[in-house]
Amino acid sequence: MTQSQASIQRFELARRIEHFVLLISFTTLGLTGLPQKYALSSISLAIVRLFGGIENLRMVHHVAAVIFLLEAIYHVVMLGYKLYVQRRQATMMPSIKDAVDAWQAFLYNLGLSRTHPKMGRYNFTEKAEYWAMLWGLLVMAATGFMLWNPIATTNIFSGEFIPAAKIAHGGEALLAVLAIILWHFYHVHLRRFNTSMFTGKMNRAAMHEEHGAELEEMDKGLIPPMPSAAEQRRRMTVFAPLAVILSLALLGGVYYFVNAEKTSIETLPPAAEQVPVYVPQTATPAPTAASTATAAAPAANPGGGADFTWEAGAKDLFKAQCGTCHAGKGAGGFSADSYDTVLKQIKPGDPDNSKIVTVQKAGGHPGQFSADELDKIINWIKAGAPQQ
């Protein structure tokens, strides 16, 4: 192994696990979030189907969000431990040197500067990512809370915060995902496949290029040592209670985040149409005109015999039994409306040769005199069919 290949321990296991948790939750959030922002694209639909529908997709998104928040809490507490108990240097703090480094690296790339900047434990590309991640976390957590708990939010803020939060949540998500692809993927996958976040180790050549200043400090033994075990224990007695309180407070915040409110009913809403569907105007649908008066019952029969004339009895009988069809022009050219038209169908004095009698005696006519009624008509014809 040449000197330049010699490995230097860069990330302890806990950092690598943190990165892995972040990688999984961030990817899941992006994968389940962007299809909600661009819901109608065919790719989004395919992803929604893959997750078994939008409700499952949202649930996975929420679970990933909670994991992301828990990781953030762990990170904050861990940072406190490193900075206070172990008195480590705050190597992630941005400084003027980072801006100078970035500018110098840019000029170097263009061939306008001969020297590449020598950078510390975290160089400007990494700091940009870390602080962008922190900014993103704050924006996404705040707007995510508003979208998850719109009623709790609007109890304090105006309603407009919700659509504004939705735009910020989507915009920030898009920025984060694209920045990861453009910045992170380029610097640690394309430019040089940097495996240190998985192996924990980095070789000297890479250290020299990316963390030259740190390498020099290491080589010169300038990294300050950690406090003594006794000092660390003393500091721990201060830190531990604070860490517990902070952790509980933040965990309580996450619990509130998830359970602040029941935004909407979970049952189906009341039916949109409240009135009953079937309310017929008539008892049953009636396709033809409504029936009018029922067939008139035969008028009072003044009795047979000599006083049975057209006007007194026969007219009513004809109207009742024949008038349905034989009215007006009359079916078959026969109208039973008037004495004159009836007279054309009978032969006064000769019932056997009167058409009305022969048709009625044959039976089966739609309008049929009863036997009693027919007798009266026959007797009336026999009597000469008197009108009065």
Partner 1 sequence: MTLWKKVSLIGAAALVALVLLGVWMAYPQPQAVKANGQVNAPAHAPLPVQQPQAAKPDNSVCLGCHQNAGQVLKLPNGDFMSITVDTTAFAASAHGQKNLQCVDCHTDITGFPHPALPATVQSARDYTLKYQDTCKKCHADQTSAVADSVHAKAFASGNHNAPTCADCHNPHTQKTWTIKDGQLTDATQRAQVAQICAQCHSAIFNEYKDSVHGMDVMGQKNTDAPTCTSCHGVHNIANPTTAAFRLASPQMCGNCHTNASIMDKYGLSTAVYSTYVADFHGTTITLFDKTSPEHETNKPVCYDCHGVHNIVSVKDPKRGIEVKNNMLQVCQRCHPSASSNFPASWMSHYIPDPQRTPLVYYVQLFYNIFIPTVLGGMGIFVVSDIFGKFRNRGKGNTPAAPTNPESKEK
- Amino acid 62 reads H
8 backbone dihedrals φ, ψ, rounded to 5°? -120, 135
Query: In whole angstroms, what is the distance from residue 96 CA to residue 117 CA?
Result: 13
Stated as kind and residue range, the H or E segment containing 244 is helix 229-259
- As measured in angstroms, the least distance from the Cβ of 288 to partner 1 is 5
> For residue 294, how many C-alpha atoms fall within 13 Å in the half-sphere facing its CB?
2
DSSP-derived letter for residue 5 is G
DSSP-derived letter for residue 367 is S
Residue 243 vs 323, nearer CB to partner 1: 323
- Amino acid 16 reads R
Residue 237 vs 292, nearer CB to partner 1: 292
227 backbone dihedrals φ, ψ, rounded to 5°? -60, 165
Contacts of 223 (CB under 8 A, 6+ apart): 89, 217
DSSP-derived letter for residue 266 is S
18 burial via Cβ count (<10 Å: 0-12, 13-18, 19+) = middle
Per-residue HEC secondary structure of 206-233 comes to HHHHHHHHHHHHHHHCCCCCCCCHHHHH
- As measured in angstroms, the least distance from the Cβ of 69 to partner 1 is 22
- As measured in angstroms, the least distance from the Cβ of 189 to partner 1 is 12
Instruction: Bin 278: left if φ > 0, else alpha if -120 < ψ < 50, else beta.
Output: beta
- As measured in angstroms, the least distance from the Cβ of 191 to partner 1 is 7
Residue 241 vs 332, nearer CB to partner 1: 332
Residue 38 vs 198, nearer CB to partner 1: 38
- As measured in angstroms, the least distance from the Cβ of 80 to partner 1 is 29
- As measured in angstroms, the least distance from the Cβ of 89 to partner 1 is 20
3-state secondary structure of 318: helix
Residue 191 vs 344, nearer CB to partner 1: 191
Query: In whole angstroms, what is the distance from residue 139 CA to residue 164 CA?
Result: 12
Residue 225 vs 328, nearer CB to partner 1: 328
DSSP assignment of 292-305: -SPPPPPPPP--SS
Residue 178 vs 223, nearer CB to partner 1: 178
Residue 207 vs 381, nearer CB to partner 1: 207
- As measured in angstroms, the least distance from the Cβ of 383 to partner 1 is 30
- As measured in angstroms, the least distance from the Cβ of 359 to partner 1 is 11
